[in-house]
């Protein structure tokens, strides 16, 4: 039984992790979340009160962070500014949260000698050609493209330096694109599902040939738990479920499951610097820690996700109009 401090636990992947931990372990959880536009307390409804508490605050608030880190056994750090498109229009919050916020947390974990797990992304490795037979491994050199991915890369390097210079008891994981419930409607899959619900045609950036390596958020959670329990200190583990799909195929799948014609979507202006392809080789995680993904049927996973957005309109509706208005300004 451990006390976990989960930063960013009111966001998409953090909230899925909190539900997963409280369901599958005896651990207790404190969430520290600033509740930015991306945080939603409704994602944390119905959790057992005796094992869960919520603290609203900023991971860059050194005094608050010091107190909360002292009081836990393990810090699991999800909090971030996470959306590439936002980072292209206003990079500053990405530096504040992803760099300074991570720095604040690792300083507290170092001071109190606490176990730290840093959540990161495959985007730190840049992108691959469509026909490249290689996939990302833990040895791939860092080559981030966007303000978002460069600040995530910077945060990874801070954690690595704190391990080497100060003996921080940390592990890092870099995961591919997640899908599932509680994902903000600014992101690709929920945006298109909720567009179709609203009678708006899905929007594909550029030609739609860009490839993402999709994993269900619950598989990400089980991998993070395995790393916290069995991972070697100082190591990085790549998390992926062999889910490569191009964006056009994903939109067509959503349209099929929602009873629309396969070509009922629009091409819109491409994202500047748009990474072409991500692909993860997760052999190290599988071989060393015995982890396996459970949600490997993407078709069924998308169907369940569509059902979730249909059944939980009150969760996403308040964000929808403002999100689409912002995209419209950008021609997307």
**Which residues in this chain contact ligand NAD in the complex, by CB under 6 A?**
7-8, 10-14, 33-36, 38-39, 58-60, 78-82, 97, 101, 119, 121, 152, 175, 177-178, 184
The residue among 293, 284, 205, 199 whose CA lies nearest residue 251 is 205
Asked if 84 interacts with ligand TDX (CB under 6 A), we say yes
Closer residue to ligand NAD (CB): 100 or 201: 100
- Pick one of 33, 58, 123, 219: the residue that binds ligand TDX (CB under 6 A): 123
Closer residue to ligand NAD (CB): 110 or 220: 220
Task: Judge whether 202 and 38 are in contact, CB under 8 Å.
Answer: no
Indicate the SS3 state at residue 212: strand
Smallest separation (angstroms) from ligand NAD to the CB of 237: 13
Q: How far is CA 38 from CA 3, 307, 325, in A?
A: 25, 21, 16
Burial of 149 (0-12, 13-18, 19+ CB in 10 A): buried
- Of 81, 122, 156, 275, the active-site residue reads 122
Asked if 248 interacts with ligand TDX (CB under 6 A), we say no
Beta strands in the chain (DSSP E): 3-7, 28-33, 52-56, 74-77, 115-121, 170-175, 178-179, 203-205, 211-213, 215-216, 236-239, 244-246, 266-268
Closer residue to ligand TDX (CB): 30 or 210: 210
Q: Which does 216 bind (CB under 5 to 8 A by kind): ligand NAD, ligand TDX, none?
A: none
- Of 33, 81, 107, 123, the active-site residue reads 123
Closer residue to ligand TDX (CB): 120 or 222: 120
What is the Cα–Cα distance from 217 to 279, expressed in whole angstroms?
17
Residue with token string 């738990």: 225
Binding mask of the shown chain, residues 189 to 218, with x at each position contacting ligand TDX by CB under 6 A: --x-----------xxx----x-x------
Per DSSP, helices labelled H in 113-262 are: 147-166, 188-197, 217-230, 247-257
Give helix 247-257 / helix 188-197 axis angle, nearest 10°.
30
33 is catalytic: no
Q: Which of residues 271-300 bind ligand TDX (CB under 6 A)?
A: 271
Asked if 77 interacts with ligand TDX (CB under 6 A), we say no
122 is catalytic: yes
Interface residues with ligand TDX (CB under 6 A) are 82-84, 121, 123, 177, 187-188, 191, 203-205, 210, 212, 247, 271
Catalytically annotated residues: 122-123, 148
């Amino acid at each position: 039984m451990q006390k976990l401090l989960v930063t960013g636990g009111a966001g998409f992947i953090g909230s899925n992790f909190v539900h997963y931990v409280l369901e599958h372990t005896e651990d207790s959880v404190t969430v520290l979340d600033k509740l930015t536009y991306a945080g939603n307390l409704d994602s944390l409804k119905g959790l057992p009160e005796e094992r869960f508490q919520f603290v609203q605050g900023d991971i860059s608030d050194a005094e608050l962070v010091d107190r909360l880190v002292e009081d836990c056994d393990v810090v699991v750090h999800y909090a971030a500014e996470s959306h590439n498109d936002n980072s292209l229009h206003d990079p500053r919050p990405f530096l504040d949260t992803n760099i300074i916020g991570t720095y604040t947390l690792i300083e507290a974990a170092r001071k109190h000698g606490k176990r730290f797990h840093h959540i990161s992304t495959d985007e730190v490795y840049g992108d691959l050609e469509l026909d490249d037979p290689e996939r990302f491994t833990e040895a791939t050199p860092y080559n981030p493209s966007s303000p978002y991915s460069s600040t995530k890369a910077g945060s990874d390097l801070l954690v690595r330096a704190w391990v080497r210079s100060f003996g921080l008891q940390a592990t890092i994981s870099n995961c591919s694109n997640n899908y599932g419930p509680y994902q903000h409607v600014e992101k690709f899959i929920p945006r298109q599902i909720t567009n179709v619900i609203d009678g708006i045609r899905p929007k594909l950036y550029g030609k739609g040939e860009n490839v993402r390596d999709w994993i269900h958020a619950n598989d990400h959670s089980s991998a993070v738990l395995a790393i916290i329990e069995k991972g070697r200190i100082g190591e990085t583990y790549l998390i992926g479920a062999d889910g490569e799909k191009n964006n056009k195929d994903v939109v067509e799948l959503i349209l099929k499951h929602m009873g629309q014609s396969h070509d009922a979507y629009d091409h819109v202006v491409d994202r500047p610097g748009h990474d072409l392809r991500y692909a993860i080789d997760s052999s190290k995680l599988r071989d060393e820690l015995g982890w396996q993904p459970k949600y490997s049927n993407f078709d069924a996973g998308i169907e369940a996700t569509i059902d979730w957005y249909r059944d939980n309109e009150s969760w996403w509706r308040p964000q929808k109009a403002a999100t689409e208005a912002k995209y419209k300004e950008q021609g997307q």
